[in-house]
Amino acid sequence: MSKIAIVGGHGKVAMILSKLLVEQGHQVTSFFRNPEHHGDVETTGASPVVLDVERSSTEVIAEQIAGHDALIWSAGAGGGNPPRTYAVDRDAAIRSMDAAAQAGVRRYVMISYLGSDLNHGVPEGDPFFPYAEAKAAADAYLRETDLDWTILGPGRLTMEPASGKIQVNPPPGTADHDTSRANVAAVAVAVLAEPRTIGRTIPFVDGDEPIERAILSA
């Protein structure tokens, strides 16, 4: 049994992820911003903890995650507010990485998105630009840390049930980039259990290959 921290614990992926990890016997601490979400998070079996990472220092985050074996970042500003997107998806994410290093939480899983890259190609006037910039910067920072990191890059998120099957490294221009949130959660669980995914970025969409096998072929 491991002790796992999830940041962004009220998100749709995180809620599914918490349930999966608890069902496997892990002890999960789920961090979220809005106190009104306490009851929702509690239903997953995780221990709910209110923590506004946007306004929390590295030291505060480190205190909260100390004693955990892994941290999964599943937080996001949700779009529509560029300053907050940079504050959460880039700055708070980077502080959480520094906090993990400070607290000795070496295993770090970042839930990013398909196409996250410093050369993402999104035009500056596009509403998606701040998110693309923020996620690329956070992912690049994580790759330069000494943490045991894995970056997950799912495609367009849906609420379809988990199929347990994905396609890694989908070719550019693939028409269907749909990715079930439940599959994303299952992939996060799988990489936590597989040391060979450390130091790797795994872009994926829903597909035909079982998750446990697919994550090793990325």
What confidence tens digit (pLDDT) does each residue in 24-36 have?
Answer: 999 999 999 999 9
One-letter amino acid for residue 216 of the chain: L
What confidence tens digit (pLDDT) does each residue in 145-203 have?
Answer: 999 999 999 999 999 999 999 999 998 765 568 999 999 999 999 999 999 999 999 99
Q: Which residues pair with 29 in a beta bridge?
A: 5, 47
- pLDDT at residue 169 in the model: 93
What confidence tens digit (pLDDT) does each residue in 60-84 have?
Answer: 999 999 999 999 999 999 878 999 9
Domains of the chain, by residue range, sit at 3-214
- pLDDT at residue 189 in the model: 98
Cβ atoms of 51 and 33 within 8 Å: the answer is yes
- In this prediction, residue 136 has a pLDDT band, given cuts at 50, 70 and 90, of very high
Q: What is the pTM of this model?
A: 0.96
Domain spanning 3-214: which superfamily?
NAD(P)-binding Rossmann-like Domain (3.40.50.720)
Quote the CA–CA distance of 62 and 100 in Å, as a whole number: 6
